[in-house]
Amino acid sequence: IKQSYVVKKLISPYVFSINMPVKLDSKYPKNFSVSETGNIMTQDLLKKGDEYDIISIVSTATPEMLRDAGNIYLYNFDLKKYTKIFQFESRPLDPRIEQLAKEITSGIDNNYDKVIAIRDYLKGNYYYSLDMEDVPAGYDISNFLFDSKRGYCQHYAASMALMCRLLDIPSRVAVGYTTGTFDPKTSFYYVNRNNIHMWVEVYFPNYGWINFEPTSPFKAPEYAEKIKKEPIGGDAAERRLKSLKELL
C-alpha cells in the first residue's frame, strides 16, 4: 500500500506509516534509521511542511493460515522478549489475570483462536469510558478486568497483550494513530492528537506481526480487512500510558 504524508503541525522523530514500511521517499534530506521494532526514525525530526511517501506491506494472511502457523519460531526471533512479564516490586502480578486467560481459552488448541477468544471477551464484557478514577501504579489492568470493567484503549490493549503473554503467545502493545477523518475534496485523511490509539500485535511464525483490535466498541483493520478505524483517545488517552507500558 502506497501512502503520502504531509506534516501540518507535528514535530516528531517518528516517520508515521502503515505497518510494515518497506520503502521511503522524502523530498527533504533527513537522517533516517529503522528501529528494532521496524519503526522508521529521523534524528532531524519531522516538521511542518515536510512531505514523504511510504510503501508498506500489509499482511493478507487468512484466519485459516494463522491457525496453522503453529508455535515454532525462527532462531532469530526473540520469543522471551515478547512473552516476558514485567512486575512492580511492590505489587506482584494479580494471579486472577492468568486464571482468566486460561478460562477464556480453555479447550482451544491453537494460538490464533486463543487470541481471538481473548479479543472477543474484552470487546463483549467491558465498557469504553474516558472517565477513570486513579488507581495505584501496577493495578491498572486488575482494576480494569475485575473491578471497574471500563476503560479506554490502553486498558483493553494492555490487558489483551498481558493475557497473551501469560499463555506464551508473543505479543506487544502498539501505539499510534487511527486513520482520522477523510476529506472527499482533497482525498486526504486528516489525523491529529485526538486520533491517538493503542492496539495489540501478535507474532505468528511465517507471517510476522498481526494487528488485533480489542477495544470496544471500535473496529480497526485486521489482516487485509479494509475497515476504517474510529478516532478515539486524546488527552485522556495519554494519561496512563507510562504505567501500562511498564507492565508490557
State the helix-helix crossing angle for 111-125 and 95-104, rounded to 10 degrees.
110
pTM, 2 dp: 0.82
Q: Output the average pLDDT for the chain.
A: 84
Beta-carbon count within 10 A of 65 CB: 15
Confidence tier at 243 by pLDDT (50, 70, 90): very low
Whether residue 244 is predicted with pLDDT greater than 80 in this model: the reply is no
Q: Which residue has the cell 518497506?
A: 22
Would you call 144 exposed, middle or buried from its count of C-beta atoms within 10 A (0-12, 13-18, 19+)? buried
**What pLDDT is attached to residue 150?**
93
Domain ranges in the chain are 1-58, 59-247
For 59-247, give the CATH class. alpha beta
Q: How far apart are CA 104 and CA 41, in angstroms?
A: 38
Instruction: From 233, 236, 204, select the one nearest 73 (Cα to Cα).
Output: 204
